[in-house]
Amino acid sequence: MNGLTKSTRMLIGGELVESEGGAWMDAINPATEDVIGRFPAGNDRDVAKAVDAADRAWPQWNAMGVAARAEAMRNFGRKILERADELLEVEVRDTGNTIAPMRGDVKHGVASIDYYAGLGYELKGETIPATPDNLHFTVREPYGVVARIVPFNHPVMFATARTAGALMAGNAVVVKPPETASLSALILSEIAREALPPGVFNIVTGTGAGVGAPLVRHPAVKRIAFIGSAGTGMAIQRMAAEVAVKHVTLELGGKNPMIVFPDVDPQSIIASAIAGMNFSWQGQSCGSTSRLLLHESIYDEVVAGLVERINAIRVGDPMDETSQMGAINSKVQYDKVLNYIEMAKREGATLLAGGQRPTGPGFEKGFWVRPTLFGDVTQDMRIANEEVFGPLLSVMKWSTFDQALEIANAVDLGLTASIWTNNIDDALGAARRVRAGYVWINSVGPHYPAMNYGGYKNSGTGREEGLEEMLSYTEQKVYNIALRR
Ligand code: NAD
């Protein structure tokens, strides 16, 4: 075994521990299929211990007050940065994502910790003039224990950026990392142990069934924050509702449209359509604009340019700074992508680029797929409706404004949308009608600081990344005080 990290334990109640059951899981490098480490296969007893530890820790953490919590969190962020290179290498080898853009993940996680550390004084309530003879006001209180379940595409970023709001609000967290990319969580365990009081930040590694489900079902976990697929999100809502009334937020998948109007220069759109696919993480991004909706007048020219550019994408070793696309994260995900490619061909879509493994040295093993372009995709095809979460771009043709919006809104998901035109009426009209939570006009891809991110329809419930996320980790208590003089 080529052990990539010496870290092998998860964090429960301030202690670095193995699983109570003594079981382990292998971490696989998707580019080589080598075993690069192992991590504890946690179970329901580990979850119970972590939740108990969090439940004991949060009252004191909350009582420290905003300034002291913010300082502890900023210290956590500084310590993460000290080990940024190590985290980056582990994350790249464990996820298959390319190294150059992945540099942003650790930085973004720490920036988000700093952002929420600075927002603490916004944990405020309201005074309400409900009656003249009472003083009416509200205060915000933490839920207590927050479960944070993380997907495989950006594990360390989500485990840091998407726990910061909960921590700042005075909660303790139990993080469940993705089982196909858990190694960075073991390093994070060591860092959190040094930086935060025992029990405030816990990490339990393992499978969805072994760790995720017992965490969702634990009666002391009132607040569940999930990032992952729509199917798992619905299962979590069901499981949670079987046990208790819980506050569940879901950040789920996308089948996002990029709508291009006829006034746009066809050549100028090609690079943006590729950028919108996030090929540097093999298209494995919830926000990827995997449906390119082109007006019929520019369809041929854009598609011809796309074929050329997509065929030129350098797929290769994720650790190589010049690679533009790496390996699919796991065998399961790889098989799913290949399955969608075959399905799209059977359904009558035209394969224009990619569609198979790259060949030659470096590709003998590993979960590789060339970036893939399908043309002539129509709404009746599954490829037009279902999230692949892989490097598959589908191009569809439209002729009228209404038809473009009909296609854009024809799917069950509604996370992001990107609209390209120089006509303000078309731009704002399309933005108003599209059923998606995050809209770009004449750009695609970036998440902006403090801007709420989240989906319509089956893409989720709740919003993250802004003030609202932090407030969503609080409950409101109402005070009514009789004024007797
Ligand atoms: P997934 O749903 O398979 O797994 C996500 C996490 O849930 C993993 O940690 C997994 O172990 C856990 N899990 C699985 N079954 C569970 C269960 N029954 N109970 C509790 N936890 C369980 O998703 P994935 O394949 O890791 O990630 C890809 C998905 O995530 C895509 O659909 C993508 O669009 C979505 N995603 C959404 C966002 C967003 O912000 N909206 C961001 C990134 C990824």
- CATH number of the domain at 126, please: 3.40.605.10
Report yes or no on 336 lying in a domain.
yes
**Protein residue closest via CA to atom 19 of ligand 1:** 213
Nearest atom, ligand 1, residue 235 CA: 18
For the Cβ of 212 lying below 6 angstroms from any atom of ligand 1, the answer is: yes
| Residues 71 and 181 placed together within one structural domain of the fold | yes
Q: What's the Cα-to-Cα distance from 11 to each of 19, 41, 73, 144, rounded to whole Å?
A: 10, 13, 17, 18
Distances in Å between the alpha carbon of 143 and those of 53, 127, 167, 172, 472? 15, 22, 11, 9, 9
Q: Which atom of ligand 1 is nearest to the CA of 178?
A: 9
- Residue 213 Cβ inside 6 Å of ligand 1? The answer reads yes
Question: Which amino acid residue places its CA nearest to atom 37 of ligand 1?
Answer: 252
In a domain, 123, yes or no: yes
Of 51, 97, 157, 232, the residue with max ligand 1 atoms within 8 A of its CB, to mutate for a pocket test, comes to 232
| CB of 44 closer than 6 angstroms to any ligand 1 atom | no
Helix, coil or strand: residue 67: helix
Ligand 1 within 6 A of CB of 175: no
Q: Ligand 1 pocket test: which of 183, 207, 227, 413 has the largest number of ligand atoms within 8 Å of its C-beta?
A: 227
Residue 78 burial by CB count (10 A; 0-12/13-18/19+): exposed, middle or buried? middle
Residue 314: partners with Cβ closer than 8 Å, 6 or more residues away:
322, 323, 324, 325
Number of domains forming the structure of the chain = 2
Q: What is the CA radius of gyration of the chain?
A: 23
Q: Do 231 and 83 sit in the same domain of this protein?
A: yes
Residue 3 lies in a domain: no
- Ligand 1 pocket test, pick from 97, 163, 176, 286 with the greatest ligand atom count within 8 Å of Cβ, gives 286
Atom 13 of ligand 1, residue of closest alpha carbon: 208
Q: How many angstroms separate the Cα of 352 from the Cα of each of 103, 261, 344?
A: 32, 22, 12
Tell me which H or E stretch contains 241: helix 230-243
Per the structure block, which two tokens stand in for 465? 């990344």
Q: In whole angstroms, what is the distance from residue 483 CA to residue 127 CA?
A: 14
Q: Which of 445, 448, 412, 442 is nearest to 430 (CA)?
A: 442
Instruction: With respect to residue 27, please indicate whether it lies within any of the assigned structural domains.
Output: yes
Query: Could you list the mean pLDDT of each consecutive 10-residue stretch along the chain, which spans 485 residues?
Result: 79 98 98 98 98 98 98 98 98 98 97 98 98 98 98 98 98 98 98 98 98 98 98 98 98 98 97 98 98 98 98 98 98 98 98 97 97 98 98 98 98 98 98 98 97 98 98 98 96
Same domain for 225 and 264? no
21/45 Cα distance (integer angstroms) = 8
Q: Is residue 21 part of a domain?
A: yes
Residue 337 and residue 227 share a domain: no
pLDDT of residue 93: 98
**Residues 279 and 216 occupy one common structural domain:** no
Instruction: Tokens for 448, please give them.
Output: 């902006």
In a domain, 5, yes or no: no
Please identify, by atom number, the ligand 1 atom nearest to the C-alpha of residue 228. 30
Q: Is 232 in the pocket of ligand 1 (CB under 6 A)?
A: yes
Instruction: Return the active site residues.
Output: 251
> To test ligand 1's pocket by mutation, which of 43, 97, 148, 153 has the most ligand atoms within 8 angstroms of CB?
153
From CA 185, how far away is CA 181, in angstroms rounded?
8
Pairing of strands 392-398, 291-295: parallel
Please tell me the predicted confidence (pLDDT) of residue 2. Answer: 54
- Same domain for 306 and 203: no
Strand 172-176 to strand 201-203: parallel, antiparallel, or no bridges (unpaired)?
Answer: parallel
Same domain, 275 and 177: no
Helices (H), 14-98: 44-63, 66-82, 84-95
CB distance 391 to 369 below 8 Å: yes
Which residues, other chains included, contact 28 with Cβ-Cβ below 8 Å and sequence gap of 6+? 34, 35, 36, 180, 330
Interior angle at CA 62, CA 60 and CA 63, nearest 5: 60
Does residue 336 line the site of ligand 1, with CB under 6 A?
no
* pLDDT for res 455: 98
Ligand 1 atom with least separation from CA of 150: 9
Please check whether residues 210 and 269 belong to one and the same domain.
no
Q: Is 66 exposed, middle or buried (0-12, 13-18, 19+ CB in 10 A)?
A: middle
Residue nearest to atom 35 of ligand 1 (CA): 228
2 within some domain: no
In a shared domain, residues 239 and 119: yes
Residue tagged 């300034």 (tokens): 67
Instruction: Find the 231 Cα to ligand 1 centroid distance in Å.
Output: 9
Q: Where are the beta strands (DSSP E) in 278-330?
A: 291-295
User: CB–CB of 310/371 below 8 Å?
Assistant: yes
Cα(200) to ligand 1 centroid in Å equals 23
Ligand 1 near 287 CB (within 6 A):
no
Amino acid 1: pLDDT: 43
Is 72 in the same domain as 214?
A: yes
**CATH number, position 425:** 3.40.309.10
At 360 the pLDDT is 95
> Are 139 and 286 found together in one domain?
no
Rounded CA gap, 65 and 296, in Å? 59
Answer yes or no: is 4 within a domain.
no
What's the residue count for the chain?
Answer: 485
CA dist 153 → 248, 250, 282, 283 (Å):
21, 16, 10, 10
Do residues 206 and 289 both lie within one domain? no
Question: For residue 341, what are the domain limits?
Answer: 257-449
